[in-house]
Amino acid sequence: GVLLALHDRAPQLRVAEDRLAATGDRGYCMLRATHGVQRGAWYWEASVEELPEGAAARLGWGRRYANLQAPLGYDKFGYSWRSRKGTRFHESRGKHYSAGYGEGDTLGFLIVLPAAA
């Protein structure tokens, strides 16, 4: 199954035993999943179980080179959807996308890549 990667994360993040949750307290940074995709159309889904007051998340698709010390969507290697105000980010530019999301919401992320390598 797809889990949060232990070996592909900002070092200051702590990953839970079940590798389905991560916590950190030293700035917004990132970790990647254990699995990636290379061609074709893929879709992943997540349900937001907990999002405490004052916390925020930026979820989406990131390439291998996306800078782990910044949130997803900081550079050109990542595309993210922010929980606050539902903003989508790429290269640190925020555009309106939807209303904000939070606990109880289920999100889906579709990526369509060329079929050839």
Partner 1 sequence: WSAFAPDFKELDENVEYEERESEFDVEDE
Partner 2 sequence: DLLKFNQLKFRKKQLKFAKSGIHDWGLFAQEPIAADEMVIEYVGQMIRPIVADVREAQYEATGIGSSYLFRIDFDTIIDATKCGNLARFINHSCNPNCYAKIITIESQKKIVIYSKQPIGVDEEITYDYKFPLEDEKIACLCGAPQCRGFLN
Residues that bind partner 1 (CB under 8 A): 27-28, 56, 70-71, 74, 84-85, 87, 89, 91-96
Q: Which residue number, 78 or 101, has a Cβ lying nearer to partner 2?
A: 78
Instruction: State the residue for tokens 């606050």.
Output: 84
For residue 60, the partner it binds in partner 1, partner 2, none, with Cβ less than 5 to 8 A by kind, is none
> What does 12 bind: partner 1, partner 2, none (CB cut-off 5 to 8 Å by kind)?
partner 2
By beta-carbon proximity to partner 2, the closer residue of 26 and 85 is 26
Nearest approach, Cβ of residue 84 and partner 1 (Å): 7
Within 8 A by CB and 6+ apart from 40, the residues are 112, 113, 115
* Residue 32 DSSP symbol: E
Binding segment for partner 2 (CB under 8 A), chosen from 32-40, 46-54, 62-70, 106-114, is 62-70
Q: What is the full DSSP assignment across 40-106? A: SEEEEEEE-----TT---EEEEE-TTS-TTS-TTSSTTEEEEESSTTEEEETTEEEE-SS---TT-E
Q: How far apart are CA 4 and CA 7, in angstroms?
A: 9
Least Å distance, CB 13 to partner 2, is 13
Task: Give the footprint of partner 2 on this chain (CB under 8 A).
Answer: 11-12, 26-27, 67, 69-70
